[in-house]
Amino acid sequence: MTTATAASPYQSYVYAYPHKTAYGPLPDRPALRDLWADEPKDALSLYLHIPFCEVRCGFCNLFTRIGAPDGLTGAYLDALERQAGTVREALGDSGPVRFATAAFGGGTPTFLTAAELSRLCDIAEHRMGADLKAVPLSVEASPATATADRLTVLAERGTTRLSLGVQSFVDSEARAAVRPQRRADVEAALSRVREAGIPVLNIDLIYGIDGQTEETWLRSLDVALAWRPEELYLYPLYVRPLTGLGRRAGTDGDPAWDEQRLRLYRTGRDHLRAHGYTQQSMRMFRRADAPPQGADDYACQTDGMIGLGCGARSYTRDLHYSFDYAVDMHEIRRIIDDYVSRPAGDFAQAEIGRRIDTDEARRRHLLQSLLQADGLRHDAYRARFGNAPDAHFGAELDRFADRGWLADDGTLLRLTPEGLAHSDAIGPELFSPAVRAAMAAYERK
């Protein structure tokens, strides 16, 4: 969460609901075997989290540490393998267990060496039983670690989507966002990704960087477009507590900065649309002729997810759970050290999480649908929850409609273009009072 003012369009990026800061200790430490016993398991998502990066980007509040002392990545993979064995056993063999999507995220999964990436794939395949060559497999990478040997392993093992965190092709902007890298090196990495033949390339860019103008933003977009990426994510810059940028004098809550971000958002959106891209959500754009196989925009509202690694979440229908969470570097190191020291049996229970009751399930469904450009289907919502969305969220939906953010034709509830631009204000307004209170009470660390 940011500390932006109430009127700001930039409250928070709702990529998962409830946010991990709303999780708390689960005093009963439920056994995974019981949690998963009655869950559908024939179309699960698998997520493997690698919490290492070469640098800590100034805007980043993800669960990751800088570098790894000798042997730590190997010890981490050992722990991941122990966890995978325990979790797979807990899923049982009474019915089909199948993974429909897989993703390696972080951190920077390509911080691992080529041999370690190969081992990571082995864990997903042999320990968990995911058929990586048959399902969409998405992997995040940084330009410096997207080396030919790593990309070869990833392509051979079935990666269908490679997401490269570029942020800006203007070197001074990359420095201002504390992501120092040179355009020439980034373009060399893009060339290697294309040579590896991975079907979907995603490029992440950021707008709202100090000193960024419409002219420099368009320049970055045009350099990206020259690579004909199948997907582009345009992220507004956030200054979050405890991040590199967050420790500096903040511009948070500054109306001029909000205005700059909104302007650059519209410029970027219009530019990509004029170049044959379709908007999927506030951040995501897909080339109209690209194969639709991104895994991380997969928005199944009745999801089951298995997350492995110490920053990963897992979802059953009734419980979301994870390990401890932190942004501060010392705390992250402590949590990773704790994770790698755990014996296999320690992975058999859920320790930290949040129960998902019917109200939260409705909110999650609404958020996951409404924040996509395709919107929410009335019939799907009614089939799942027995009533129309406005029977449960009338006040909120009226408010969005009054602001010109929402259109409802009786079949589909969709954000208008202005609504999509304000996705980061709409999302938090749909949080339940209980989740809001838990997030406010979360002791930031």
Chain residues binding ligand SF4 by CB under 6 A are 53, 56-57, 60, 62, 64, 106-108, 142, 165
Of 142 and 202, the one with the shorter C-beta distance to ligand SF4 is 142
Taking the complex as a whole, how short is the minimal distance between the CB of residue 167 and ligand SF4, in angstroms?
8
Taking the complex as a whole, how short is the minimal distance between the CB of residue 179 and ligand SF4, in angstroms?
Answer: 6
| Alpha-carbon gap, residue 396 to 400, rounded angstroms | 6
Query: Closest separation between CB of residue 62 and ligand SF4, Å?
Result: 4
E strands, 54-98, where? 65-66
Cβ pair 86, 347 in contact under 8 A = yes
Q: Of the two residues 165 and 389, which places its CB atom closer to ligand SF4 in the complex?
A: 165
Q: How far is the CB of 264 from ligand SF4 (least distance, A)?
A: 19
Q: How far apart are CA 172 and CA 176, in angstroms?
A: 6
C-alpha torsion angle, residues 55, 61, 64, 66 (rounded to 10): 20
Q: What residues contact 50, with CB distance under 8 A and at least 6 apart?
A: 76, 104, 105, 106, 107, 108, 109, 111, 112, 120, 309
Cα–Cα distance for residue pair 305/314, rounded to 1 Å: 5
Q: What are the C-alpha distances in Å from 30 to residues 34, 84, 348, 350, 440?
A: 7, 18, 9, 6, 25
> Closer to ligand SF4 at the Cβ: 30 or 143?
143
Give kind and range of the element (H or E) at residue 272. helix 255-274
Q: How near is the Cβ of 107 to ligand SF4 at its closest, in Å?
A: 5
Closer residue to ligand SF4 (CB): 146 or 305:
146
Nearer to ligand SF4, 30 or 51 (CB): 51
How many whole angstroms separate alpha carbon 107 and alpha carbon 56? Answer: 9
CB 3 within 8 A of CB 440: no
**Smaller CB separation from ligand SF4, 73 or 108:** 108
Smallest distance from ligand SF4 to CB 145, Å? 9
- Min CB(140)–ligand SF4 separation in Å: 7
Least Cα distance to 414 among 392, 428, 393, 397 occurs for 397
H or E stretch covering 224: helix 214-226
Distance CA 135, CA 16 (A): 22
Q: Provide the minimum distance between the beta carbon of 390 and ligand SF4 in the complex, in angstroms, as a whole number.
A: 38
Instruction: Please identify, using beta-carbon distances, which residue of 142 and 372 lies nearer to ligand SF4.
Output: 142
Note whether 428 and 386 are within 8 A (CB): no
Q: Which is nearer to ligand SF4, 234 or 367 (CB)?
A: 234
